[in-house]
Amino acid sequence: MNLVPLRRRARRMERRFREARMLARAFRHQYQPVAAHLIPVRRCNLSCAYCNEYDDHSSPVPTRDVLRRVDLLAGLGTGIVTMSGGEPLLHPDLDQILRHVRAHSMIATVITNGYLLTRDRIRRLNRAGLDHLQISIDNVLPDEVSKKSLKVLDHRLVWLAESAEFDVTINAVVGAGVREPSDALVIARRAKALGFSTTAGIIHDQRGRLLPLDDRQRMILEGVVGLGKSLFDFANYNRFQKNLAIGEPNHWHCRAGARYLYVCEDGLVHWCSQQRGHPGIALERYSQEDLRREYHVEKKCAPLCTVGCVHRVAQLDELRQNPEATLREWFSAADESEQSRLPRPIGILKWAFVTSSRRDFFRNVALRAFRAR
């Protein structure tokens, strides 16, 4: 008897509880990191032309150092720890590291190019307690820009659909360097057919510049977003990607260095992968004072930033500070002929936690239920 679907369902329910607890804590504590990217190895087995986050030679970070960094992130109150790279599956002790993240009750996620996934590797990731895996697929057929291609990865996606007990998200991209924009729709439809979540990313060129999308690319981006299941990603599109797609700046406060940390292979904290060196302080010495300072620092790179995970984290703070206006903006109508409509579950949450005269009671119940006080 195949027990994977049952185990997957049970683990998903337990994970949703932990995610809700993480969100409750993020609302409660303004100066705690919601998410951190941790680099266990800078080396990658691929060499995508647009990428500035890998090399082809460095050794894995010693396991005891990575474990210590996980302890330090837990000490700061971090909710989600994402193993990124380079290619994190190249680290020989990745499973031990993931177990350590879970032992601290944090959410363990991995971003991979998928090339090293086998049936056995997927089962080992299940056993390590991985919560979430993201694969970014750039095109249908490999080309000189990227080999993260559906044709190469498809059988691995099938293995994931058969065996993974963790959530899987496939990120499809549009923008500079993507030869055939409609590939993103092919990739997103295939991911959906296999039961995965999908997200859409706007890719920058080799020099990190964001180029506005043409009409066809914009329609494809909207199509991919429409296939996604997450209300939060739809909101992210409305809040950030719509403007970026037409080359317009976004007005927002990037909270990198506070709500989001990027910890490089040398154990230094940076704002993000694209702004390494700021502030460049050792995680060992990173303190409440650093979190408070970075929370309020204005980042000049913010208007045209494409770093989706930091956008998502910023959305939490916008919601925390001004829930009614934020929800209105997130769920504004796609065009003027349509009416803005708040999805029903969000409407209920808004009533309970924002507009109801008993909102303090509901908030206290939620904080107690999620042990987030």
User: Where do contacts with ligand SF4 occur on this chain (CB under 6 A)?
Assistant: 44, 46-48, 51, 53-54, 85-87, 113, 148, 254, 256, 271-272, 274-275, 299, 301-302, 305, 307, 310
| Alpha carbon distance 360, 190 (integer Å) | 44
Least distance to ligand SF4, CB of residue 45, Å: 7
Least distance to ligand SF4, CB of residue 271, Å: 4
C-beta closer to ligand SF4: residue 266 or 360? 266
C-beta closer to ligand SF4: residue 232 or 353? 232
Largest CA distance in the chain: 60
C-beta closer to ligand SF4: residue 47 or 364? 47
| Alpha carbon distance 296, 234 (integer Å) | 27
Closest to 32 in 3D by CA, of 75, 74, 77: 77
C-beta closer to ligand SF4: residue 100 or 270? 270
Least distance to ligand SF4, CB of residue 38, Å: 14
**Burial per residue of 128-139, b for 16 or more beta-carbon CB atoms within 10 angstroms, e otherwise:** bbbbbbbbbbbb
Closest to 41 in 3D by CA, of 111, 133, 134: 111
C-beta closer to ligand SF4: residue 40 or 85? 85
Least distance to ligand SF4, CB of residue 254, Å: 3
Q: Kindly give the pairing relationship between strand 167-175 and strand 132-137.
A: parallel
Least distance to ligand SF4, CB of residue 280, Å: 12
C-beta closer to ligand SF4: residue 197 or 275? 275
| Alpha carbon distance 124, 136 (integer Å) | 21
Cis peptide before 92 (omega within 30 of 0): no
Least distance to ligand SF4, CB of residue 298, Å: 10
